[in-house]
Amino acid sequence: TAIEETLVLVKPDGVARNLTGEILRRIEAKGYSLVDIRLVQPDRDLLAAHYAEHEGKPFYEPLVEFMESGPVVAIRVAGNRVIEGFRSLAGTTDPTTAAPGTIRGDFGRDWGLKVQQNLVHGSDSVESADRELALWFA
Ligand code: DAT
Ligand code: MG
């Protein structure tokens, strides 16, 4: 086994739509452990650090603006291969085509949709998880 920790964010759309409980339910149902959790109003500096790899891409500004638009729930989650496992629970980036049964596939809206409104973030590697957890749980 490879016990890892990952950063999960319930994005502003997920919090506003009262989906935090449903997302936590899925994480717990899978058998992962909640290690820490906090409600955060992220500022520009935190988001710029979090999304540094995307700076300069066309979706960067709308993404950061959206993430600043309301509170986010940050969760430190532990489990066997949880980094890949949570991304599998989340589904692919664009909720319009994310598979049914995934968080993004089941709850992603298909009208007036913006790709950044995809409910959750999950770290994509051990290095990203370490870096992101240090930012959100400083
Ligand atoms: P993921 O969140 O699946 O890891 P990512 O790291 O490539 O995706 O991108 C970060 C976020 O940026 C993603 O959750 C939504 C937004 N995004 C990515 N690609 C996009 C695109 N082509 N158009 C608009 N937003 C996009
Ligand atoms: Mg990513």
For the chain, give the secondary structure using H, E and C. CCEEEEEEEECHHHHHCCCHHHHHHHHHHCCCEEEEEEEECCCHHHHHHHCHHHCCCCCHHHHHHHHCCCCEEEEEEEEECHHHHHHHHHCCCCCCCCCCCCHHHHHCCCCCCCCCCCCEEECCCHHHHHHHHHHHCC
Cβ 124 under 6 angstroms from ligand 1: yes
Q: Is 66 annotated as a binding residue?
A: no
Site to substitute for ligand 1 among 65, 93, 102, most atoms within 8 A of C-beta: 93
ipTM of the complex: 0.97
- Positions marked catalytic: 121
pTM for this predicted structure: 0.97
Query: pLDDT digit string (tens) for 1-25?
Result: 899 999 999 999 999 999 999 999 9
User: Is the pLDDT higher at 112 or at 24?
Assistant: 24
Ligand number nearest to the C-alpha of 57: 1
